[in-house]
Amino acid sequence: KQWYQRRVHGDQLQPYHQQEKEKSSMAKSFCESIKLLRSTGPSYSKLRSRGVSTNTPKKQVVQAVLQDPIHHDEPSITIRTPVPGPKSVALKKDLNTMQEMSTVTFFADYEKSYGNYLCDVDGNTFLDCFMQIASIPLGYNHPAILEALRDERNIKTMANRPALGWFPSEDWVHRIKHSMLAVAPPGMTQVFPMMCGTCSNENGIKMMFMRYMNKQRGGRVDFNAEELNSVLKHEAPGSPKLSILSFKGGFHGRSIGLLSCSHSRPIQGVDIPTMQWPKADFPKYKYPLNENVRENEAEDARCLARVEELIEQATKDGQPVAGVISEPIQAEGGDNHASDSFFQGVAAICKKNDISLMMDEVQTGGGASGKMWCHEHFGIEADVVSFSKKMLSGGIYHNMEHRPPHPGRILNTWVGDPHKIIMLEQVVKTIKEESLLNLVTESGKTIMAGLEDIQGRYPEILSKARGRGTICAVDVKN
């Protein structure tokens, strides 16, 4: 194992003694600040020295002289205590005196976590298949992200968070082009950064409402007095009675609008007044798929017929459907998959009725399906695509037809966060340079082969192995 041999101490470079090495795998001062940055990867293999600011009053610059290239030793699974351990239990108890956060599993040690391994404060190390609710795209402490965050050119960008709807920085256009728009779904030329998945979905359905009403007005963009006055009373025509069609088993967020589109866990919506918007059946297939083709095609046809029925009924009820929202794979609802032909049918129904199709890619977007956007597998183009999690920033892609005709109608204080874009630039670059989508596809084949094998050996316990890329699942008998 290679070790830093020197460390910064005040103005002096002093030896890094053996007893200090035993206390920590890396030095706790200067070395700590660059240990993961120089830890792995061929791009660092020829480095011998690095100029680093010590932030001393004189802004003195020192040279960190390294021996041979530093290689990170991948952690291994280690369980030292019950889970959660005593430190986590104590911290959780303290936290819950300030907020209801009984959901906490344990407290993590993000200094020690690396790659696919998550460490906790009690010295346990786990192989992490959860990745912070599917929101870590490149694993913990990826060197490319750490380097970008330590780049002095990015420090002031992070220190001075702008209201991007009013005062973006000079490089903002370039950053958006080379991060979000560089991986835009087919048919998408527009993007709005957002803070999270919920606000992305909420504003996405607002875009569908705006587009629908713009069509109803024949393209008229100036509002009349009746429209402007009635909206403050929550009455038509300013506040029209419209609806969004979603699917049973879906989950899109915890705002009132999105709870009106969700249908998964009751605890998420109990006590909250919501709109009675239509919810169609999502296909429930018989597995294995290749042995139940006829039955599953019939299930697709049944569910598509139900979509059309609900759209027709909503119009009769005076609450016409302005758009359809769906996850490509229902995540919280139980990893429910639907066929390419089902989604192609949904897209055709939307086109026939001249309503919008929105794909909620908050859980599935960012490459885990083997494509950057899971709905690409279906051979369709959506009108609106929401994202968050592995994209690090929330946001909404949309086509020109859904571009708001007035400034300020889709807006918030920050409209995203340059700090997240700095990281996303490195994620997009790494995905492309290291062909990670191909790796996801091959890894998914391995996972599925393993699930199908163990399912075959224990059919009384496991069933319905399914997946796209590494978004894989198997049902376990309760």
3-class SS at 356? strand
Residue partners of 384: CB distance under 8 A and separation at least 6: 204, 207, 208, 323, 356, 357, 358, 359, 396, 397, 398, 399, 402
Among 120, 360, 383, 417, the one annotated catalytic: 360
| Cα 386 from Cα 134, distance rounded (Å) | 15
**Smallest Cα–Cα separation from 362: which of 339, 396, 334, 336?**
396
Active site residue 343: no
Active site residue 30: no
Among 30, 247, 251, 343, the one annotated catalytic: 251
Instruction: Indicate the DSSP class of residue 156.
Output: H
First to last CA, the chain: 46
Q: Which run of H or E residues covers position 205? A: helix 197-216
**Smallest Cα–Cα separation from 239: which of 250, 249, 230, 248?**
230
Rg of the Cα atoms in the chain: 26
Among 371, 389, 390, 464, the one annotated catalytic: 389
Other CB atoms within a 10 A radius of the CB of residue 459 amount to 10
3-class SS at 108? strand
Active site residue 441: no
- Across 23-111, where does the E strand assignment appear? 49-53, 61-65
Instruction: Indicate the DSSP class of residue 182.
Output: G
Among 78, 105, 315, 413, the one annotated catalytic: 413
Q: Are strands 12-15 and 49-53 parallel, antiparallel or unpaired?
A: unpaired
Active site residue 389: yes
Please state at what angle helix 143-150 crosses helix 418-433, rounded to 10 degrees.
140
What number of helices (H) and strands (E) belong to the chain? Answer: 14, 17
**Smallest Cα–Cα separation from 37: which of 151, 111, 158, 144?**
144
Chain centre distance of CA 227: 37
Contact 358, 382 (CB under 8 A): yes
Residue partners of 455: CB distance under 8 A and separation at least 6: 462, 463, 465, 474
Residues labelled as active-site residues: 251, 360, 389, 413
